[in-house]
Amino acid sequence: MNHPCYAQYVFYRLTQGDMVKDKEITWGTIKAQRLLFLALAFLLSSCRDTPPQPKQVLLFDSAAVPSEFFPRSEPEAVGINPAALAALVAEAQNTHSNALIVIKDGRVVVERNFDRPAKQPLRINSVTKSIVSLAVGQLVADGKIPGLATPLARWFPEWAVGKKAKVILQHIMTHTSGLYHEESAAKLYQQPDVIRYARGLPLAGEPGKNFAYSNEAVALIPGIALAAAGKPLDIYLRDRLFEPMGISDYKWDRDAAGNVLAFGGLWLLPRDLARIGQLMLDSGSWEGKQLIPAAWVRAGTSPARADIPEYGLLWRLYPGRKDATAAAAGFGGDGWLGQHLVVYPKWHLVVVRLHAIEAGNDEEENQKYGFNSLQQMALALVEKDANSTDDKSALSKFKVEVH
């Protein structure tokens, strides 16, 4: 028989008249057994079924509020659905996330590093492409690149003949170049000079016709930036974006020739990726300075073509929950292993989730920890028709863990 507390267990044994046989508690005499009856009845009256306590969901790894980041806020104060937030944090932990940041209305409601050093850059993989898009936009604004209709032959003279002459910069930015590509970037990472390798690839399709995600095409952008600006892509980004935003702790993966890997080789602190998300939310403005043209932000985060509604200029576009065919509700960058930067402008929401390589950077790890539901779970934070919107009790799950 099961008993909710030990006093009730003892009471049960006494009423059966066999406590003196109990190996755990021996009172020695039947008289003593009976004398305890009333006392145990009193103890029994104090026994109550204790309701299960909600599992704690930690919103911050430390109670110390950093002065160098956005201010913090209680979720309820900025209109965050508490039950949806609890679910998001729990799923982030279940998928071995190494960073999760949620910013609403310019205030941080979640910042977790899940026992990983907070000041350690993580490789953002293909989210790198979206950051590179900002460099292209600034190059256009600076007049270094005439526009998206510029043929790549302007920078790669050997492309001036044959079908490659039809390839323009917009094709590179929208994955419609027709350039031969592998399904995986593994072969590209092995190249001693990725720009030279990509320049020499043949076309596998008609330029501008079909969408085909291409790391090889994006690998050409550092070559374009160097020819157009007279300086490497990483230096241009440093001068025009990173330094003005106070981003200094980062690094680039490079090939043996020294080219940065624009298709997936940037390492950033989670906070700095969140800062870039806020920059995009604010139409390219940072602390009163227009770092990226607002027109480029709008163009880059809108469908580049009517038949490719899920993609802008190296930015992913995310539909709303009600109708997947409706206009994009948000945008962001995503990459291998579930690297995510998600922005929902209507709700002034920025979410960053990153995962460090654990099991060899393979497909099994990507499927296990990719957190493919992040965009929809993020949207549930702010959608009024999300499940359990009125569950205020979920706030009781939020605790602060101090390290």
> Residue 310 and residue 317: Cα distance in Å, rounded?
5
Tens-digit pLDDT profile for residues 199-248: 999 999 999 999 999 999 999 999 999 999 999 999 999 999 999 999 99
* Residue 361: predicted pLDDT: 59
Percentage above 90 pLDDT, the chain = 67
> Residue 284 and residue 99: Cα distance in Å, rounded?
24
Tell which wins on pLDDT, 13 or 55.
55
> Residue 313 and residue 125: Cα distance in Å, rounded?
17
Tens-digit pLDDT profile for residues 250-301: 999 999 999 999 999 999 999 999 999 999 999 999 999 999 999 999 999 9
Q: In what order do the strands lie in the sheet with 251-252?
A: 122-123, 266-268, 251-252
Q: pTM for the whole thing?
A: 0.82
> Residue 58 and residue 88: Cα distance in Å, rounded?
11
* Residue 365: predicted pLDDT: 79
* Residue 55: predicted pLDDT: 57
* Residue 345: predicted pLDDT: 96
One-letter amino acid at 231 equals K
Q: How many C-beta neighbours within 10 Å does residue 254 have?
A: 15
pLDDT exceeds 70 at position 351? yes
* Residue 11: predicted pLDDT: 41
Longest dimension (CA), the chain: 108
| CB distance 287 to 269 below 8 Å | no
Token couple for 69: 């980041």
Tens-digit pLDDT profile for residues 74-104: 999 999 999 999 999 999 999 989 999 999 9
Rg (CA), the chain: 29
| SS3 call for 333 | strand
Tens-digit pLDDT profile for residues 106-131: 999 999 998 777 788 999 999 999 99
Kindly report the average pLDDT of the chain as a whole number.
84
For residue 123, the surrounding DSSP H or E stretch is strand 122-123
Token couple for 374: 């992040």
> Residue 260 and residue 313: Cα distance in Å, rounded?
20
Q: Catalogue all structural domains in the chain, each as residue range(s) with its CATH number.
A: 6-45 (no CATH), 55-120+269-403 (3.40.710)
Token couple for 1: 């028989």
> Residue 220 and residue 159: Cα distance in Å, rounded?
12
